Amino acid sequence: MTASLGSALSIPHHSPGKTHELSLPRNPSYCSCLASNNRLHPSRRSRLVSNGSILGRVGAVFRGNLSEAPSRTKNYEFSDGGAEVELRLDLMATNAQSFRDVSVDVDASSLIVRVQTSASLTTVFEAHLLYDKIKPSETIWFVDEEQLVVNLKKYDVDLQWPDIVETWGSLTAGVPKLLKGASIYIVGESTEINNDVAAVLADGIGYTPLSTGQLLEKYAQQSIDSWVNAEGEDSVAEAECAVIEGLSSHVRAVVATLGGQQGAARRADQWRHLYAGFTVWLSQTEASDEASAKDEARRHVQSGQWGYSNADLVIKFAGWEPGCGQPIAQASLSALKQLILSDKQLPEKKSLYIRLGCRGDWPNIKPPGWDPSSGADAPPVL
């Protein structure tokens, strides 16, 4: 096997990649949790030639919305070397006779490895959503005895990759380090969905799951519905706001809030203490594709019809079944990762906002001593 494969080195000179611009907190990031599309994108493929021999092929691949583990899970070795990550695949079982039988397709967020045999072209590894962006033009691959080695240059050299691909497992391992203890608040129209997703999310990242609805029912010794019937929606919303205020100084918690008219998060004037954590707005959609879902999210945010438009992130999803919150939780973690990487000071800003008393000046935090009731303006601290 070693003699037949020889040694090949591929250094692509360019690759058509994709970049994804991220919004800051006042302009929420949008993420959709629709059906994944993992088809190969019809694109130009460049054959790289050096000294007359074909070294590799580089093309663009389609980026799906969510990524599962690569095919033949853990048929690879992965390591993070700081400025670069390395993938090693065992070629012994592929029946490849030469490095010329190997095809590596890569773009800024995807990687596919195929092997040509006498029978067919076989995909031996595919990741349609790498853990973070890479520099496709600096990708190197070569054959080392029975292993294919793919070296990928990180776009963000400071980010540690738990794995080569972005999956539930890699996100739950990596995102808590980015959050630095900051809590997460789940808001949206459905209390049930908020509770389910918050519970899955908390379990995945090792945070404490909390539900404002459950805390209120325990305090009042009655159901939320009974409370609404007895005292009205405003009473429940005011009580939930007090609960959120008490939770705002907590760290490493995922807080599910009430949905509907009785929910404090629906009201724009009740967000002072919600800003203490990263807020995720879960919103169902009837859109059939990602672009339509994002357009819908933008319209809802720009209209300002609900307090939810203050959220850091908007997650659009189609369909819901009880107990099936993991895909939405995964989309939430992916969006949180992108948001924090777009501004790595965000967790520290959340912490500062809490220390200064959650005065409602997010995201333009004013200096110590600023009185929001005075109406006087002041330059932000950060």
How is 221-279 classified by DSSP, letter by letter? TS-HHHHHHHH-HHHHHHHHHHHHHHHTT--SEEEEPP-STT-GGGSGGG-TTGGGSEE
Residues 178 and 216 in one domain: yes
Residues 283 and 247 in one domain: yes
Gap between the Cα atoms of 227 and 221, Å rounded: 9
Q: Is residue 371 part of a domain?
A: no
CA 119 and chain centroid, separation: 39
| DSSP-derived 3-state class of residue 78 | strand
- What pLDDT, on a 0 to 100 scale, did the predictor assign at position 154? 97
Gap between the Cα atoms of 168 and 162, Å rounded: 11
- What pLDDT, on a 0 to 100 scale, did the predictor assign at position 275? 98
Measure Cα distances from 121 to 57, 96, 103, 115 in Å.
14, 11, 9, 6
- What pLDDT, on a 0 to 100 scale, did the predictor assign at position 321? 86
CA 63 and chain centroid, separation: 14
Stated as kind and residue range, the H or E segment containing 301 is helix 290-303
Helix-helix angle 326-342:168-179, to 10 degrees: 40
Total domain count, the chain: 2
Q: Is residue 331 part of a domain?
A: yes
Q: Is residue 42 part of a domain?
A: no
**Polymer length in residues for the chain:** 382
Q: Give the domain extent around 124.
A: 76-154
Residues 88 and 144 in one domain: yes
Q: Is residue 114 part of a domain?
A: yes
Residues 194 and 297 in one domain: yes
Q: Is residue 311 part of a domain?
A: yes
Gap between the Cα atoms of 361 and 365, Å rounded: 5
- What pLDDT, on a 0 to 100 scale, did the predictor assign at position 17? 34
Q: Is residue 39 part of a domain?
A: no
Last-in-domain residue among 114, 132, 154:
154
- What pLDDT, on a 0 to 100 scale, did the predictor assign at position 351? 97
Structure-token pair, residue 214: 């459950």
> Nearest 5 degrees, angle CA 25-CA 162-CA 23?
15
Q: What are the φ/ψ torsions at residue 147 (nearest 5 degrees)?
A: -120, 140
Q: Is residue 10 part of a domain?
A: no
Residues 260 and 133 in one domain: no
Q: Is residue 214 part of a domain?
A: yes
pLDDT tens for the chain, 382 residues: list them.
333 343 344 444 333 333 222 222 344 555 555 533 332 232 222 222 222 222 222 222 222 345 554 444 567 999 999 999 999 998 877 777 778 889 999 999 999 999 987 778 889 999 999 999 999 999 999 988 888 999 999 999 999 999 999 999 999 999 999 999 999 999 999 999 999 999 999 999 999 999 999 999 999 999 999 999 999 999 999 999 999 999 999 999 999 999 999 999 999 999 999 999 999 999 998 887 888 888 888 888 888 788 999 999 999 988 888 888 999 999 999 999 999 999 999 999 999 999 999 999 999 999 998 888 776 566 666 6
Last-in-domain residue among 154, 180, 212:
154
- What pLDDT, on a 0 to 100 scale, did the predictor assign at position 54? 25
CATH number at residue 90: 2.60.40.790
Residues 301 and 174 in one domain: yes
CATH number at residue 269: 3.40.50.300
